[in-house]
Each structure stands twice: as C-alpha cells, then as structure tokens.
C-alpha cells in the first residue's frame, strides 16, 4: 500500500510540472530543441542540447576514452533533454558538465558525484536519478580520468577537485533548471558515494544552502589521511618476496579465523559481521607450529602476524593522535587485492607525486609517518572535508550517511569517527543529531556496492531493490525532506542473481544489529537494533 501511495504521489507531482498536455511528447521535443538557442550560462561553452526520446540509446560517443568504463550504452527508459557544456572555473581550469532534464519532471533537482581521483561523470547515477524525474547534473570534477596527474603544477585543478567543480555544477545546473522549466525547482538533492560521499559532505560543510537533502555513502573524507593510510600498506606488507608479505591464500585463512572469532558475536553465525566494533581478533592463534609449518597457507610466521596486526591497527601520527582508524575486519578477501598485494596504491602514489612533493619520481615504497605528517599539514583547500561544525546545514538540511561494514577501500571506522567528531564538536547527542543527521551501518556491503550480505539499498542502478523508501535511500531522503518522515532503518536486500534471497533492516548508529530469533537469519524480523 505504501508503494502505491508513493507512486501516486510522484504522478501527481509530475502532472503539476508538465507543461504540454495532449501532445506532450512532441512539444517537449520542440521545447528541448529551442532551448539550444535560449540557454544562457556565464563563462560557459555549450557543446550540445539534444532531445533523447524513450527507447533510444543514450549516446556516449563524446565521452573521453579515459572515462569509458563509467559510460555504458543504455537504452533510455524515459524522455529527456540533454545539455552538455564546459564552465570556466579559473584562468587555468574548467569543468565539463551535463544536465539531464526529464519530461516527467518531479520538480526536484539533484547533483551526482564522482569516484576516486576522478575525473569522470557517473552516468549510471544520472540514469538512475533522471529516471525518477530529477533534473540531474554531473561534472567531471575538473579533469577527465581517475588520475592525479592534472594536479601537477596546477593548483586550480586541485581546487576544482577539492570543492569547486561540484559547487559550480550545482549553481549552473540550478540556473539551467530554472531556465528550462518555468516553475523552477522545489527541492534540491545530492547523491554520491566514496569520493561522491566526500563531495556530499563538502557541500554540507562549505555550501550548506546547496541541498535540502544529501545522501552520502562510504565517504572519502579525512581524505589526506585516507591517502596516508592507503600509502602505509605497501611499506607494511613489503613486496611479494618480502618476509612480511602475506599471501592471498593466507588471507583466506585469516578471514576464516576472523569469522571464527567474530561471526556469532551478533548472535548469528551467518558469515556476516554486523558490527566490526565488537570484533577485536587475536591473530597469534594462527602462528605456525610443528604440525602447521611455515610456508603453508594455513598458518603465519610471527613476522606475518605483525603485518596483520598493523593492518588492523589505526595509523598514528608522530604523537598519539589517530590520523586514520584501522581497517575493519571482514573485508580482507577483497582488501587483499586492493591494498595487501605488495603494489603501490595508485591514489597515494599520485597524491604524493603531484600534490605533496611535486616530484613525479617519488617512490611509494619509501613512505613513512613523516610523509604522513607533511601531507596532513598541507590539506590543500581543506580537501580533507572533516569539519565537525555543520550547524549552518542543520538549520535547513537533512543528511543520510551510510557505510558498508565490509568496505575494503575506505574503512567504515572512518564514518564512525566523523559521526563522533560532529557530535563532540556540536555538543549533540545521537538523539539530537537524529533531527538532521542519520548514519546507517550496512552489514554485508562492500565499497558502495554489494558484498556478502544485504547490501542493495537503492544507492544506484546496480543496487536497486524496490521503490519503497525503506528499501531505497534516495526515496527515503525525498520522504524525509518533503514529508518529514525520517528513516529509522535502511532495509537492504541480498540478491541471488535476480531473485531476492533475503532482506535485513540495517540500524541507525550507534545502535547495532542483534539476532534475537525466533525466525531464521534470513527473517528481517528476527533482528533487533540494540
């Protein structure tokens, strides 16, 4: 019933904004075509204004090759007017951006975000949001490609990356939206994950009027120390022939040992760790002995155990300040490929070469805590995005923050650290923060995408699990902003292929999920937030 009410609500809003009536489609096409002559944006070059009918391919032919992996051919399920332009941000920098203006307009504006050091529009997020009737914008974040090389000797491009590209895209995108739809827009939203999560938080901190509702996942905030933390793995593991190195096969053994020690702490031995805070594994149980001998994948040498202990310990500066928290246990099968592989972490390599030292031959194997302290002190354009006072945003906005508890790229402990930082800075208890800031811990979710558990929460096309706001973080945010109904949980779906295997309600921090029965683990009502 809630679903049909919701859809009815959308239809009513869409009707209120439709301008044509009988011949809506062709009049929309004419409107889009004439918009090419009407659109006016300062400091901009308009590349194209294109009418995209339902069922036609959304062309990616103009997407640079370095961004092709984010740009799959998609047959459009909705009709829209597609605008592409460049906007100058300084004498040495410019952004590329697109605005997708759907005919089924809901009266809502939305900006998407980026990933990594990118550099690329996430077209699948545009498809997702514009398909819901949002006037949707995206930028290339000031440069094309998932690389830091453009920061080298050009701090303007770095400034775009830190905050300016998204904000410019929002200012310009809102202007385009007002020029295209005579009624303008009612509410403004943001949705992004990873670097996109950081960009959402940057807006909250620096441009608190940009959005009424922000959905920010797995944020790459505390960015410089995230990079430092990523840089630490190579000197910790050494390369694949070092005595300190731990093999992929040994990481499987370590993962099994983590589950042996921690899986049932939430009441359910289901292979999913609900709250990694409860998991403080002792790896000395894996030390080799006379029956399991060194060199076997079923045990670790003392030197290797030290490597593993470091990985699961915070990164400290040159005093007792934690720069970045530990990797959360549970993510190691994937993290072994991302971080523990004896190779440089490319984002750290780029950051130190093109930002910190402006030295393209800097050697990532040479990284020490002294480098971390130098990088941390720079924090150009406050790219770290870790401001604890968000009181300006509190006055009008809402933020839904989520993080996967199996994230192998950005430790979910970083999100907990930020939540506490905001609470401490603003002197607000969790129940007071609930008024405008809610953080959800998503067990069984990897980095912005699915993992071993119920990780599909509607944060994009690939994780769509239904139109009920309880299953869909974007629609949950719309309901919170427009109807004042705040989410108390986020329900995730575990798919087996296209079949729903089970659903699980994920808790609002600082509550944690506990299996209480009597139903099976797959029964969402057999769990309780405590």
Ligand X SMILES: *[C@@H]1O[C@H](CO)[C@@H](O)[C@H](O)[C@H]1NC(C)=O
Strands 93-102 and 80-90: antiparallel
* CB closer to ligand X out of 320 and 484: 320
169 or 329, CB closer to ligand X?
A: 169
Residue number, 91 or 319, with CB nearest to ligand X: 319
Selected catalytic residue, list 194, 203, 414, 456 = 194
The Cα 447–Cα 408 span in angstroms is 6
* Integer Cα distance of 509 and 224 in angstroms: 25
Secondary structure element (H or E) that encloses residue 423, with its range: helix 413-426
Least spacing, CB of residue 417 vs ligand X, in Å: 14
What distances in angstroms separate CA 306 from CA 180, 236, 290, 457, one per listed residue? 60, 9, 20, 37
Give the nearer residue to ligand X in terms of CB position, either 78 or 357: 78
Going 209 to 488 to 529 to 521, the CA torsion angle's sign is negative
CA distance 382 to 388: 13
Out of 146, 212, 275, 407, the active site residue is 407
Active site residue 125: no
190-221: b (≥16 Cβ within 10 Å) or e: bbbbbbbbbbbbbbbbbbbebbbbbbbbbbbb
CA separation for the pair 205, 347 (Å, rounded): 24
- Contact between 257 and 284 under an 8 Å Cβ cutoff? The reply is no
Nearest to 465 by CA among 445, 429, 492: 492
Q: Name the site residues for ligand X (rule: CB under 6 A).
A: 54, 56-57, 73, 75, 78-79, 86, 94-96, 103-104, 140, 142-144, 239-241, 286, 289, 291-292, 298-299, 317, 319, 321, 373, 376, 496-497, 501
User: At its nearest, how many Å lie between ligand X and the CB of residue 311?
Assistant: 19
| Catalytic (active site) residue 27 | no
Shortest separation between residue 508's beta carbon and ligand X, angstroms:
28
State the DSSP string of 98-135: EEEEESS--SEEEEE---TT-----HHHHHHHHHTTEE
Looking at the Cβ atoms of 132 and 347, the one nearer to ligand X is: 132
Catalytic residue, from 447, 452, 456, 471: name it. 447
CB of 85 to ligand X, least distance (A): 9
E strands, 309-448, in order:
315-316, 322-324, 398-404, 437-442
149/373 with CB nearer ligand X: 373
Distance from chain centroid for Cα 398: 17
> How many CB atoms are located within 10 Å of the residue 499 CB?
7
CA distances from 267 to 278, 383, 441, 526, 527 (A): 12, 40, 17, 11, 9
**Cβ pair 206, 171 in contact under 8 A:** no
Nearer to ligand X, 277 or 468 (CB): 468
From the CB of 141, what's the least distance to ligand X, in Å? 8
User: Hey, what are 338's tokens?
Assistant: 């991302």
Q: Is 194 labeled as catalytic in the residue annotation?
A: yes
* Cα distances (angstroms) measured from residue 494 to each of 139, 194, 354, 413, 444: 31, 21, 41, 23, 9
Taking the least distance from each CB to ligand X, the nearer of 211 and 324 is 324
Least distance (Å) from ligand X to the CB of residue 510?
26
Helix ranges (H only) for 132-240 are 155-159, 165-180, 195-206, 223-237
Beta-carbon contacts of 410 under 8 Å, excluding residues fewer than 6 positions away, are 194, 218, 219, 220, 226, 403, 447
Minimum CB separation of residue 73 from ligand X in Å reads: 4
Q: What angle do CA 500, 506, 508 make, to 5 degrees?
A: 160
Residue 153 DSSP code: T
Q: Minimum distance from CB of 230 to ligand X (Å)?
A: 17
For the annotated catalytic residues, the residue numbers are 194, 407, 447
């Amino acid at each position: 019933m809630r679903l049909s009410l919701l859809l009815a609500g959308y239809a009513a809003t869409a009707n209120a904004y439709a301008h044509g009536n009988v011949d809506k489609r062709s009049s929309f096409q004419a409107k889009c075509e004439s918009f090419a002559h009407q659109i006016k944006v300062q400091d901009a070059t308009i590349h194209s204004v294109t009418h995209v009918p339902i069922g036609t391919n959304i062309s990616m032919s103009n997407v640079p090759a370095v961004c092709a992996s984010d740009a799959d051919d998609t047959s459009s399920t909705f009709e829209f007017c597609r605008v592409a332009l460049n906007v100058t941000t300084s004498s040495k920098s410019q952004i590329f951006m697109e605005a997708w203006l759907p005919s089924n307009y809901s009266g809502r504006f939305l900006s998407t975000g980026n990933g990594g050091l990118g550099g690329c529009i996430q077209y699948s997020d545009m498809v997702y949001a514009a398909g819901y009737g949002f006037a949707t914008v995206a930028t290339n974040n000031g440069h094309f490609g998932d690389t830091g090389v453009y920061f080298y000797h050009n701090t303007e491009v770095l400034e775009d990356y830190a905050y300016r590209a998204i904000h410019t895209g929002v200012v310009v995108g809102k202007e385009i939206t007002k020029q295209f739809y005579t009624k303008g827009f009612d509410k403004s939203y943001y949705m992004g994950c990873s670097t996109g999560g950081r960009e959402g938080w940057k807006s909250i901190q620096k441009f608190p009027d940009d959005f009424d509702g922000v959905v920010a996942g797995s944020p790459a905030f505390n960015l410089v120390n995230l990079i430092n933390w990523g840089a630490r793995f190579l000197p910790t593991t050494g390369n694949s022939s070092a005595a300190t190195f731990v093999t992929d096969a040994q990481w499987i053994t370590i993962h099994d040992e983590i589950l042996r020690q921690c899986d049932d702490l939430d009441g359910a031995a289901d292979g999913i760790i609900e709250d990694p805070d409860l998991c403080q594994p002792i790896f000395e149980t894996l030390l080799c002995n006379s029956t399991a001998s060194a060199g076997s994948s079923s045990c670790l040498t003392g030197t290797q155990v030290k490597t593993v202990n470091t990985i699961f310990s915070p990164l400290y500066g040159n005093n007792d300040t934690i720069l970045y928290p530990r990797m959360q246990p549970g993510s190691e099968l994937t993290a072994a490929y991302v971080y523990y592989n004896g190779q440089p972490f490319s984002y750290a390599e780029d950051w130190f070469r093109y930002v910190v030292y402006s030295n393209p031959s800097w050697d990532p194997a040479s990284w020490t805590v002294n480098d971390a302290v130098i990088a941390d002190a720079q924090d150009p354009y406050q790219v770290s995005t870790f401001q604890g006072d968000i009181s300006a945003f509190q006055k009008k906005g809402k933020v839904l923050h989520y993080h996967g508890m199996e994230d192998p790229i950005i430790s979910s402990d970083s999100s907990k650290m930020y939540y506490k930082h905001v609470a401490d800075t603003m002197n607000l208890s969790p129940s007071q923060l609930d008024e405008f800031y809610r953080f959800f811990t998503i067990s069984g979710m990897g980095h912005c995408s699915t993992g071993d558990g119920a990780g599909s929460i509607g944060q994009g096309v690939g994780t769509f699990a239904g139109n009920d706001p309880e299953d869909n973080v974007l629609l949950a945010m719309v309901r919170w902003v427009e109807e004042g109904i705040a989410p108390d949980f986020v329900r995730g779906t575990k798919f087996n292929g296209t079949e729903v295997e089970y659903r699980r309600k994920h808790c609002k921090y600082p509550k944690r999920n506990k299996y209480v029965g009597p139903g099976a683990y797959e029964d969402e009502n057999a769990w309780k937030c405590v």
